[in-house]
Amino acid sequence: MTLSVELPVAPGVGQRLLSALLRASTWALFRSGFRPGVSPVSQRRLLRLATRIAPVVRSVRIEPGQIGGVPCEWLTPPTDNGWVLLYLHGGAFMVGAPQTHRSITSYLARHGQLRVCALDYRLAPEHPFPAAPDDVLAAYRALLEQGQAAERIVIAGDSAGGNLTLCAALRLRELGLPQPAALVCFSPVTDVSGANLHEPPAGDPLLQTAWLGQGVDAYCPPGVDRRDPALSPLYADLRGLPPLLVQVGEDERLLTQSLRLQEQAGIDLQLELYPRQWHVFQINCGLLDIADLALQRVLEFLRQRGCR
């Protein structure tokens, strides 16, 4: 079942203007700097510069670290409830870092009163599949070895990080390791084969098919079936996975990839559709009320599973 989520009160003029400005600036940035022909190294620099303007919750302590031999960033709120959220950033498998997603991770840490471990997993093309999922598994195992109870761990991610979130749960099931309490995905890539893409009438200002293809080509080794469930969890048997919250925008090339998760039998899925929102709009939390609402709904989802 899909739940359409909107603000309880229509956004005012200021919010509408800000939304239009963010949509236009996102469109311009990603059409100019994130496309085939621009190297992943240049794209990484540009994304770090562009995301410096995103609001970061100042009361959260941010410290670099390592977990399971993988670099990470720890975000600790003033009050800690004992839960850990392992966050996997997006970026078409080839760009992004903990620093580029601090608006989301600091918000979840502060308002959820939980520690966030933002993983700096290895990126393609220097490190193609399975480097990134191996890093996620190493980090999760390290959390368990440190004494963190699985029932107090959440795995969350956006876009490519949403793909890694689902694939991590599948690997844990395969290895017989304890599952986390919940999974959260923002606009996840569930199918790297190039199928199940949506063309929203209003356009997706962030995600271009060509750029996603550049990232997938860098990530997937030659000759590997891109419908392999280890790469494309849409084709996996998802029965028995932890409760899953998926949030996706209406103006979103990956909309169909989220909607098709509903076809899975035996999956505990809460799917939320946000009209007029684009790919990973949650990164605008602290600016757009609808992004704040989406993250508040994430925290409510976690509270229902004991994260208080």
> 25 an active-site residue?
no
DSSP letters for 131-166: HHHHHHHHHHHHHHHTT--GGGEEEEEETHHHHHHH
Take residue 302 and report the two structure tokens written for it. Answer: 């976690």
Spatial distance between the Cα atoms of 253 and 248, rounded to a whole number of angstroms:
10
CB 224 within 8 A of CB 275: no
* Selected catalytic residue, list 103, 159, 187, 232: 159
Q: What are the phi and psi torsion angles at 70 (to 5°)?
A: -110, 130
Spatial distance between the Cα atoms of 66 and 119, rounded to a whole number of angstroms:
9
Q: Which residues contact 193 (CB under 8 A, 6 or more apart)?
A: 226, 227, 232
Active site residues: 159
